[in-house]
Amino acid sequence: MTDPDWEPIMKSAKAIVTNRGGRTCHAAIVSRELGIPCIVGAGNATEVINSGNDITVDCSKGEEGYVLEGNIPYTVEKIDLSVLPSTKTKIMMNVGIPEQAFTQSRIPNDGVGLARIEFIISSHIGIHPLALINYENLKEKAKEDQKILKIVKEIDKRTFLYERKADFYTDKLAQGIAMIGAAFYPNDVIVRLSDFKTNEYANLIGGSLYEPVESNPMIGWRGASRYYDPKFEPAFSLECLAIKKVREEMGLKNIKVMVPFCRTVEEGKKVIDIMRKYGLVQGENGLEIYVMCEIPSNVILAEEFAKIFDGFSIGSNDLTQLALGLDRDSSLVSHIYDERNEAVKRLVRQVIDIAKRTGRRIGICGQAPSDFPEFAEFLVECGIDSISLIPDTVLRTRLLIAEKEKSLSAK
């Protein structure tokens, strides 16, 4: 399987096939953003595909992918954008790779519903933020510890232009976010704050010095729980300063902020307070703060979350995982993982109804509407404000939604 360490080399791959993982694992999500065909959970792919073989990876036939021997010819379908219908439902995009933002922004869209910053951190920075903040202390320890000496040398190699090493993190993160914000300006670009798990943070340079080992990082120390924790708050301050720089110094006020994996209303209040401490003040210069709706508690207490956040974005990947009680990275239970399960759909419908009732904007940035046309239609029936899609499904889904809205208005 893959993790963020793989992302630089994934960019140069023609296709990706993994033995393990489900539809929402790291390999699947990043491959879709890169526009690379990807098959996950193949079981024995590394045994039967040999180096040097010519193969064709075919992901065009629905939920199952095929690895075929040899170079198989294919056809390219073209769509005339001049006759593309408009929709009442906003069609936004999931974007995470700054270098592709200007190309992807040429696809007709209403903005970015999910800008993931994890790719910027792993590929453009590659160093744990606390290692940069504590650089001087690490230099002292490196005199007696070869492991730390190696970390210090790697930090020096990457940040040689920076006297204050933490500025490297802020600048690189700001540059990546700004590229996405500029590409889609003046449309909204909703930037999700970092949502690495402990095992992913540990893979960054120096990460092993600061990250605990968890038995199940997927439901551990991630998202909102990190930001106000004294052990991580200094690192989170760098994110806040980067976003502030993009909005205020670069003038990209179309940047909005989204808080992931916020388990309780009290956590949400703490995060908003911490953001204010570092210059990101809700409502100031039009700054809006959204919350990911990806935990059943976000739905159950949606009216309370609506009092402190400006809107919701449904994360159907984690919402499905937690509603059905399974690990979405596990291929062993991947056959059960399905956003179309009635339990998940009831949660989705419920939170959309509450958002409408409380006057809060609500969209979705999870994988479901990109994978399942019928789920996109279901969202339109529920009255969702926006649907954020991976780039390769935007045109197809826009056509589908236009037809669905037309049929609903005719009733």
Is position 38 annotated as part of the catalytic site? Answer: no
> Which of the residues 26, 128, 262, 293 is marked catalytic?
26
Residue whose C-alpha is closest to residue 197's, from 260, 126, 269: 260
402 three-state secondary structure: helix
Main-chain dihedrals φ then ψ at residue 17, nearest 5 degrees:
-130, 130
Instruction: For tokens 């992918």, name the residue.
Output: 65
Residue whose C-alpha is closest to residue 228's, from 257, 268, 269, 270: 270
Is position 365 annotated as part of the catalytic site? Answer: yes
Q: What residues does 189 pair with on adjacent strands?
A: 112, 255
CB 53 within 8 A of CB 66: no
Write the DSSP string, 219-288.
Answer: GSS-THHHHTSTTTHHHHHHHHHHHHIIIIIS--TTEEEEE-S--SHHHHHHHHHHHHHTT--TTGGG--
Residue whose C-alpha is closest to residue 298's, from 288, 308, 284: 308
> Which of the residues 38, 240, 293, 365 is marked catalytic?
365
Q: Which residue type sits at 391?
A: P
Give the catalytic positions in this structure.
26, 365
